[in-house]
């Protein structure tokens, strides 16, 4: 398809991965916060290129030393261009408007990938004709690491909205009633270079390599039982709108090796989680690999009250917050960045 001849914008929202007791299996989509990719015709022949990164978190990307050519937006764009474009006199320049912080646990890299895919498909007039599977194939090209695709529990929710379950070879949308969350991100912790994230694989490896083999086996079997039982209950609770049970399930710690591994990388997690629960949340858990934390609440008024209390209690910390109900639509075309900015800035303090 030949590229369209006008400037286009695509927004891809933040998301919560590792939802519930799972590891890279389930995630859900947030509102109000995410990345935007802009596509402009550049007049060249068969060329697509990321030419600029702007936005409140552009400097963080620049500090990584990753070039524009190596950015995941360019990787996604190259893949889509090579697969779907035809010989055309109209190339595309892309601009990434980075509104999501890096290493936050809110699906930052996935949002960039999804925004790039959405924008490219809009520019090539393919967004309405491609299958969902083809769209996923396009968006996940920017998350290829060591011959494996990562963060699909962020890619799927950001792309399509809702709650998703990710399998080895397929993915399914989980029917869910609406719920409201408050996400908190301690900027001091996120920017501290001394914090080391302990991967779940490393935690399991240490467990398996321990001298107490029987204890390791029992822990692994216990975790298997834990996630099997919790997954069925979580799906049922989401279907029925039983948000109190959803909160209890995401908060569960006993037998949860995922929480056991992640908590070591987030200072004061126990204190923060306890305080959030004492201030009215139904549940609280780490978002993705952290350090962001999300709390399940009983509607927007309860979410605002929780936000006010937590920000006041931890006033010495540089807390970012987001209040969001479940985003059912995911990525979308937008007409104007300034209007989008004004419509969403009251729901968080990230910019």
Here the CATH number for the domain that contains residue 23 is 3.30.230.10
Same-domain pairing of 78 and 121 = yes
Asked if residue 314 is part of any domain, the answer here is: yes
Whether 1 is covered by a domain: the verdict is: no
Token pair belonging to 4: 């369209």
Confirm whether 74 is domain-assigned.
yes
- Same structural domain for residues 274 and 342? no
Q: What is the mean pLDDT of residues 114-118?
A: 99
Neighbours of 292 (CB within 10 A): 26
The DSSP code sequence of 93-148 is EEEEE--S-TTSSS-HHHHHHHHHHHHHHHHTT-TTTS-HHHHHHHHGGGGEETTE
Assign 20 to helix, strand or coil.
coil
**Interatomic CA distance for residues 242 and 261, integer angstroms:** 28
Domain-located, residue 254: yes
Residue 210 shares a structural domain with residue 161: no
Asked, for residue 302, whether it belongs to a domain, the answer is: yes
Q: What is the pTM of this model?
A: 0.90
Q: Across residues 25-32, what is the average pLDDT?
A: 96
pLDDT (tens digit per residue) in 182-196: 999 998 767 553 444
Residues 206 and 144 both lie in one domain: no
Q: What is the mean pLDDT of residues 162-184?
A: 93
Please give the average per-residue pLDDT across 162-170, as a whole number: 89
Cβ burial 56-90 (10 Å sphere, 16+ → b, else e): ebeebbeeeeeebeebbbbbbbbbbbeebbeebeb
Answer with the residue of higher pLDDT: 193 or 281.
281
Q: Which stretch of 105-119, 135-149, 327-341 has the lowest confidence by average pLDDT?
A: 135-149
Task: List, for residues 76-109, the tens digit of each pLDDT value.
Answer: 999 999 999 876 657 999 999 999 999 999 999 9
Shared domain check, 331 and 321: no
Question: Are 160 and 47 contained in the same domain?
Answer: yes
**Within-domain flag for 2:** no
In this predicted structure, the answer to whether residue 316 has a pLDDT above a threshold of 60 is yes
| Residue 291: domain span | 181-325
Does 27 fall in a domain?
yes
Q: Which residues of 328-344 are buried (b: 16+ CB within 10 A; e: fewer)?
A: eebbbeeeebeebeeeb
Same domain, 74 and 109: yes
């Amino acid at each position: 398809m030949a590229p369209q001849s006008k400037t286009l914008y695509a927004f891809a929202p933040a998301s919560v991965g590792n939802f519930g007791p799972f590891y890279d299996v389930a995630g859900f989509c947030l509102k109000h916060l995410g990345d935007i990719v802009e596509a402009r015709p550049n007049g060249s022949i068969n060329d697509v290129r990321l030419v600029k990164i702007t936005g409140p978190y552009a400097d963080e990307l620049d500090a990584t030393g990753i070039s524009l050519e190596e950015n995941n937006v360019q990787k996604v764009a190259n893949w889509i261009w090579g697969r779907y474009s035809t010989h055309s006199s109209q190339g595309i320049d892309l601009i990434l408007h980075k509104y999501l912080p890096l290493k936050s646990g809110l699906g930052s890299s996935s949002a960039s990938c999804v925004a790039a895919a959405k924008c490219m498909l809009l520019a090539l007039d393919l967004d309405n004709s491609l299958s969902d599977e083809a769209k996923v194939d396009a968006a996940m090209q920017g998350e290829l690491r060591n011959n494996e695709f990562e963060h699909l529990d962020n890619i799927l929710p950001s792309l399509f909205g809702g709650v998703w379950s990710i399998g080895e070879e397929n993915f399914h949308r989980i029917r869910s009633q609406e719920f409201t969350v408050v996400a908190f991100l301690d900027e001091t912790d996120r920017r501290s270079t001394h914090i080391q994230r302990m991967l779940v694989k490393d935690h399991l490896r240490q467990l398996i390599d321990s001298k107490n083999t029987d204890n390791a086996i029992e822990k692994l079997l216990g975790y298997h039982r834990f996630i099997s039982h919790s997954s069925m209950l979580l799906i049922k609770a989401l279907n029925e709108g039983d948000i109190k049970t959803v909160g209890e399930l995401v908060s569960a710690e006993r037998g949860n090796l995922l929480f056991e591994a992640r908590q070591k990388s987030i200072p004061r997690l126990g204190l923060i989680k306890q305080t959030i629960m004492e201030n009215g949340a139904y549940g609280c858990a780490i978002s993705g690999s952290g350090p962001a934390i999300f709390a399940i609440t009983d509607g927007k008024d309860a979410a605002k009250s929780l936000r006010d209390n937590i920000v006041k209690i931890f006033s010495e910390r540089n807390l970012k917050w987001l209040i969001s109900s479940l985003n059912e639509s995911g990525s979308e075309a937008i007409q104007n960045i300034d209007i989008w900015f004004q419509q969403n800035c009251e729901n968080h303090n990230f910019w």
